[in-house]
Structure 1
Amino acid sequence: MNARPAWMALALLLALSFAASAQPAGDPAPLQFRDNAEEVRFHALTAELRCVMCQNQSLADSNAQIAQDMRREVLELMRQGRSDDEVKQFLVDRYGEFVLYRPAVERHTWLLWFGPGLVLLAGAGVVWHIVRRRAATVPAPGDADRAEGEQEW
């Protein structure tokens, strides 16, 4: 008997067994919730968390593989009896504050919270300054005629 086909058959059998046992990406088994309260809490919590890969999608909305893994991690932490704040802190410790849609207002997040308002105020100040400067340099429409002694009739 030839040893080469036996090795090839064994390698093919091993490859097929690994492929059959692996869960396909993008098609995970749906999460099973114990009760309605757990499901409501889970959906509320994942809506407040950001997918670290998608950047602008919540964990609840993202279809990325890491988001699926993070959702499973959130559910596991919830089942361990952790509070919402503890689950969020676990994810912040692991992925950074970026994972929160609403990071805490702290000294190192002031620019994040107040930066857009400051940019808006600065823009309004620039517009106000430009309008004032133009109003001071442009004469009113009837001023030239009145200067020559003509009346406006």
Structure 2
Amino acid sequence: MSDSPKPPKIPESVLVVIHTADLNVLLMERADAPGYWQSVTGSKDTLDEALRETCRREVLEETGIRIGTDAVPDTALRDWSLSNVYEIYPRWRHRYPPGVTHNTEHVFGLCVPAGTPVTLAPREHLQYRWLPWQAAADACFSPSNAEAILLLPRFAASIP
């Protein structure tokens, strides 16, 4: 059975920095680029998909973590009200409509309890690790992901 071609990606995405209260950050190694470590990222599925819904869907698909449970309530997902516009790496531009070279990424944080189980999507990620926030920022291949992680202490301090 052959896979049907995927529709072009929408150049609007989310970056979700998943962290614990003590600022350990979840990073995952990309399956299509071994050695590239990142937080949860993903494009909107439809133009009218709400960004919070994109976050919930991508976090579940990539980590198995379900937002909206007793362990990880909806309030654990926080919009940092930050957006980055960046040039899409040439190696991944074929996934977007012809002529699209830039993506707008919206940054969110998700605080989860230490020990939260992670189940990776094997087509997307090879392995995961929890790192202290500074080490996580250093390990990210994406400058916007690293910058978001470096802001984590400021945003985590505002969690009630």
TM tier relative to shorter chain? under 0.3
TM-score (norm 2): 0.24
| RCO comparison, higher one (Cα < 8 Å, 6+) | 2
Q: Write 1 or 2 for the structure with the bigger share of helix.
A: 1
TM-score (norm 1): 0.25
Higher-Rg structure is: 1
Q: Write 1 or 2 for the structure with the bigger share of strand.
A: 2
